[in-house]
Amino acid sequence: MRQEDDDLLNSETGAAEPAVTAAIPPPSPAISPVLGAYRPVAGLHDELVTAAGEIRPHWARFAAGLEELGPQELARRWEQARRLIYENGVTYNAYSDSRGMERPWELDALPLLIEAREWESVSAALIQRAELLNLILSDLYGAQRILSEGWLPAELVHCNAGFLRPCHGTRVAGDCYLHLYAADIARSHDGQWWVLTDRTQAPAGAGYALENRLVISRMLPTLFHEARVQRLASFFLTLRETLRGLAPHNRENPRIVLLSAGPSAESYFEDAYLARYLGYTLVEGDDLAVRNERVYLKTLGGLLPVDVILRRMSDDLCDPLEFRGDSLQGAPGIMQAVRSGTVAVANAFGSGLLEMPAIMAFLPGLCRRLLGQDLKMPSVATWWCGHQQALNYVIANLHRLVIKPTYPTRGIEPVFGAQLTTRERGQLAERIKAFPRKFVAQEQVARSSAPVWTSSGVQAWHLALRGFLCASGSSYSVMGGALTRMSAALDLLGTSMAAGEGSKDAWVLSDRPVDQVSLLRPAGQPIELRRSGSDLPSRVADHLFWLGRLVERVEGAVRTLRNILVRLTSESDPAALPELPPLWRALSDQGHIPSDHSLRAGREFLGGIERELLAAIFDEQRPGSLHSTLNAVHRTASVVRDRISIDSWRILNRLDREFVPPQQAGFVQLSDALAVLNQMIINLAAFAGLGMESMTRSQGWRFLDMGRRIERSQHTIHLLRSTLVTALENEAPVLEALLEIADSSMTYRTRYLTTLQMAAVLDLLLLDETNPRSLGFQLAALNDHVEELPRDRTQPFYSIEQRIMMALLTSLRLADIEILCELDKEGTRKNLDRLLSRCAGQLPKLSDSIMHKYLIHAGPPRQMAEIQPD
């Protein structure tokens, strides 16, 4: 169901965007409405203007281009671009899956321009650093010469939870630990670049850099092309080549998975984004199984071998057998598979060790020892308090230093000495002196400034850049771009990706014309043809199944609720409508309103019913309310984001966004609620339509559709049972309502004109397999799906699912409509009730059987009880 990624691949060419109109007045230096009022921060290096206030040469053409566009046009385009970000649902998840913590990604309209030669020297320095860090890891997980020779204090390794002892002595392919490396860099007032942080574990942010590029290159297509900006795609191409080259088996067409910590992880959006862009399967630890010292992907069709794992979660969580036993996210046995060389992991397990800031104090010496060179780009000045001299310096200079724990600890934030009172500084000094080895101090960094487009004009904000490197051959290649974060205040730019107030696209300019790169294979290179088969991870099938059910549950509820709202907002006296009580019962039978709430006559009637209905729609806290089901849709969809096309995702986002009751004077009118429901019906139809027209008929689609069909069957069954089993004196209004809910009025009218008859309505809603809203249609579709599920075809017997479906479909097909309509002495339709209750009982069994066979695994791995020696 993967949408073709062409739009992502070709996005940087921005070909779809119309060029800027030709009739531009010539630029006049006197008039510069965009950048004219820009004032850099005094005393800092500014990226745009020199100390003398002149625009730097490499910005000149771009700056002129901005002025040509003018502030109005820029504002208009920026509005459009922001809508794109919003619609694509680019978010940053700050440590939680609760929706409140999902922050939209903030991007600035103006890119940062970096000169080609400048970036070349930055690149050379970062390549040297990546090679150095790789050599350090290789030594520490091997001979440990740098410890015995005293280049690095041994305790920085011994005490470090990032030093994974099971990895010691395990050879990694090509002696490469860091396949991906990122460095946070900034420059001081004299223009000198410094490294602030090393990202060696699972560097995040490259995907955001790509998304930023996508948005800005579309917003400023002409300027982008004229500026000869280096493309980001070639970096990802190298990454793909590197990962492919790691495969110990199937080197031609290895199975590469992107291992994510799941939807609650900080980087989940990016995990899904990159998996999609690179064409890898997005997996969680639970999707992997280790058998015979090989890693496999659990799919609907069985276990498929995995050759390379692009790891996006912390290494210590990856194997509960050999690393942290309390991890529920990993796959037990994976380290042994690495040891036996059947799978390659990037970055190698154990590489998180070098994320300790203390290492920076020792890099100059290590660089000379291991590379015989001087470090090309300095690290921010760092003191490890375990050495007496450093300790003395730190204590004396606390007011101008940033204090961090020696070993990175989640949840412990750096302390800025400058922000402490004298008394607090004294207390901190005591804590450091008590355990000096546990503290590191770093100088607070000055950062350069650059123009940022804000609502109050273009302003100078502080910058931090994250550069990305990818192993290539025996060295590294650097992304021709970077993730740029910025902030109005200096100390807001910590090291976390979430820190700061937004990001910027970084344009690294090129001296030469830039090559067009695509992640698609070059023409002429043969490719193994594939039809999506049963290699869908079971977990994903599970989520798609539930997504189908939840979306349909929303639709069922919306249709019933809308029908009632229409009646309540019409001219007739609601208390006199005979169809209202049965419809109300249908709502309560399906759990949308509490079952103890019955319709009461009298003055209270309308007020009570209105309150209940609005709560059933908008009350997030109420189980079974439309709002809570929509939240569940959102959660489930987020988990399988990489499997949902961008357009479908936009519709789901819109479904969410437009679910806001227009409030007038603090309360919602029924008619406003009705408008919301009407809009939802359209969005739901769009989602269903995309599913029908744009998804390949893979197992993923099948599970989504099965979920939908099961849910719609149940909705229809409940609706008919609640409204038709007990006969009414005047049934025509109920029949009318049922036809409306089932979107079948038009069909009925064309067939029968206006005579509303029980038998004809029942036939249309129950038995008619050509009506996509009938129960018969759902069961026939389910029957087809069940036939197509992966199974052992040599087995002579029907599966449980097949039997359930055959029995259900047959009993429905054999039903006689006249008999179903018959009333007994008490005025109930016993036969109809019997048929419906039979279906109602069998469908959950079908659902359970499918879940059990295809979706649910034996549960999370558990630790064996430990034995206490006595």
Query: Which residues contact another protein by CB under 8 A?
Result: 144, 147-150, 153-155, 158-159, 165-166, 168-169, 289-293, 320-322, 325, 332-333, 336, 339, 857-870
Hey, which bits of 275-411 come out as E strands? 281-283, 288-291, 294-299, 302-305, 308-311, 344-346, 382-384, 401-405
Q: b/e for 612-639, b at 16 or more Cβ within 10 A? A: bbbbbbbeeebebbbbebbbbbbbbbbb
In angstroms, rounded to a whole number, what is the distance separating the alpha carbons of residues 749 and 730? 19
**What is the nearest approach in angstroms of another protein to the Cβ of residue 255?**
21
Closer CB to another protein, 522 or 869, in the complex: 869
Q: How far apart are the C-alpha atoms of 545 and 704, rounded to whole Å?
A: 5
The terminus-to-terminus CA distance of the chain in angstroms comes to 57
Look-up of token digits 């990694």:
172
Write the CA distances from 280 to 93, 666, 823, integer angstroms.
21, 49, 59
* Nearest approach, Cβ of residue 340 and another protein (Å): 8
As measured in angstroms, the least distance from the Cβ of 137 to another protein is 16
User: Least distance from C-beta 341 to another protein, angstroms?
Assistant: 13
Nearer to another protein, 149 or 818 (CB): 149
Residue pair 447/490 in contact (Cβ under 8 Å)? The answer is yes
Q: Please say which residue, 362 or 748, places its beta carbon nearer to another protein.
A: 362
For the bound state, the minimum distance from the C-beta of residue 339 to another protein, rounded and expressed in Å, comes to 8
Report the residue number, 325 or 827, with the smaller CB distance to another protein. Answer: 325
Q: Count CB-CB contacts under 10 A for residue 692.
A: 10
CB of 411 to another protein, least distance (A): 18
Residue 322: CB minimum distance to another protein, A: 7
Residue 800 Cβ vs another protein, minimum distance, rounded to whole Å: 19
Please say which residue, 140 or 204, places its beta carbon nearer to another protein.
140
Contact yes or no for 141/169 (Cβ under 8 A): yes
Nearer to another protein, 167 or 346 (CB): 167
The closest of 238, 231, 123 to 512, measured between CA atoms, is: 231
* Among 67, 74, 197, CA closest to 129: 197
Peptide bond into 347 cis (omega under 30): yes
Compare residues 662 and 860 and give the one whose CB is closer to another protein: 860
How far, in Å, CA of 672 to CA of 3, rounded?
36
Residue type, 353: L
User: Encoding tokens for residue 90?
Assistant: 């680019």
Q: How far is the CB of 172 from another protein (least distance, A)?
A: 16
Nearest by Cα to 40 from 446, 447, 449? 449
> DSSP string spanning 709-752?
HHHHHHHHHHHHHHHHSB--SS-HHHHHHHHHHTT-HHHHHHHH
Looking at the Cβ atoms of 327 and 487, the one nearer to another protein is: 327
Task: Return the beta strands (E) in 638-732 as ranges.
Answer: 663-664, 667-668
Q: Which is nearer to another protein, 290 or 673 (CB)?
A: 290
Query: Based on CB atoms, which residue is closest to another protein, 316 or 612?
Result: 316
Question: Residue 252 or 866: which CB sits closer to another protein?
Answer: 866
What pairing do the DSSP bridges indicate for beta strands 256-259 and 308-311?
Answer: parallel
The least CB distance from residue 366 to another protein, in Å, is 17
Residue 258 CB: number of other CB atoms within 10 A? 22
Considering the complex, state which of residue 300 and residue 337 has its C-beta at the smaller distance from another protein.
337
CA–CA gap between residue 286 and residue 263 (Å, rounded): 13
Report in angstroms the alpha-carbon separations of 16 from 31, 218, 234, 818.
31, 8, 21, 60
Confirm if 459 and 451 have CB atoms less than 8 A apart: yes
Tell me if 240 sits within 8 A of 472, measured CB to CB: no
Closest approach, Cβ 164 to another protein, in A, equals 9
Bridge partners, residue 229, by sequence? 509
Q: Which is nearer to another protein, 753 or 867 (CB)?
A: 867
Least separation in angstroms between residue 431's CB and another protein is 13
The values of phi and psi at residue 311, to 5°, are -90, 125
Strands (E), 444-534: 449-454, 457-472, 475-478, 483-487, 502-508
CB atoms within 10 A of CB 593: 21
Q: Which ranges in 279-413 belong to alpha helices (H)?
A: 334-339, 363-371, 388-396
Three-state SS at 4: coil
Minimum CB distance to another protein smaller for 168 or for 600: 168
Q: How far is the CB of 313 from another protein (least distance, A)?
A: 17
C-beta closer to another protein: residue 61 or 324: 324
Own/partner long-range contacts of 789-798 (Cβ < 8 Å, ≥24 apart): 789/300, 789/699, 789/702, 789/850, 789/854, 790/300, 790/301, 790/302, 790/534, 790/699, 790/854
Q: How far is the CB of 437 from another protein (least distance, A)?
A: 9
Beta-carbon contacts of residue 83 (< 8 Å; ≥ 6 apart) = none
Pick 291 or 845: Cβ nearer another protein = 291
